[in-house]
Structure 1
Amino acid sequence: MDRLAYPITDAAERIGVGRTTLYGLIESGDLESVTIGRRRLVTEDALRAFLARRAQAA
């Protein structure tokens, strides 16, 4: 079964950036995240949308 959301470390690895960079993208609003309890997760859809926007801008 495919994952719907990833913790920060896994999401960063998935798109090839570091944790600090991923947190920066979230704080700047470039990448959406969800908080469940104390955990911050990034959805697969948010990762794909972010990469699609970056590809169009290039």
Structure 2
Amino acid sequence: MQRILISVQETGELLGVKKTSTYKLLNLGLIQSTTIGRRRLIFLDSVHSYLSSRPRMGAV
């Protein structure tokens, strides 16, 4: 079974950024999240969508 939600920490590790930058992306609405209890969890597909929308380095 594939995961749908990942933690803020895991998102930062996936993107190669710190938690602060991950929260900035959330606050800008560039990635989506939900809360379960006290935990804020990010939708993995929103991370993939964000990455897909970014220009690739060296792309012509």
- TM-score higher than 0.5: yes
Distance 2:31 2:43 in 1: 10
Trace 1:1-58 onto structure 2 (pairs within 5 A).
1-55=1-55
Root-mean-square deviation (CA), in Å? 1.7
The alpha-carbon deviation at position 53 of structure 1 amounts to 1.3
TM-score where L is the length of structure 1: 0.82
What is the DSSP-based 3-state SS (H/G/I as helix, E as strand, rest coil) of the residue aligned with 2:17? Answer: coil
Distance 2:19 2:53 in 1: 20
Distance 2:52 2:39 in 1: 25
Higher helix share: 1
Question: Counterpart amino acid of 1:19?
Answer: K
Number of residue-to-residue matches in the alignment: 57
- Structure 2: give runs of 5+ residues left out of the alignment: none
Distance 1:16 1:32 in 2: 18
The alpha-carbon deviation at position 4 of structure 1 amounts to 1.6
- Structure 1: give runs of 5+ residues left out of the alignment: none
TM-score where L is the length of structure 2: 0.80
The alpha-carbon deviation at position 55 of structure 1 amounts to 3.0
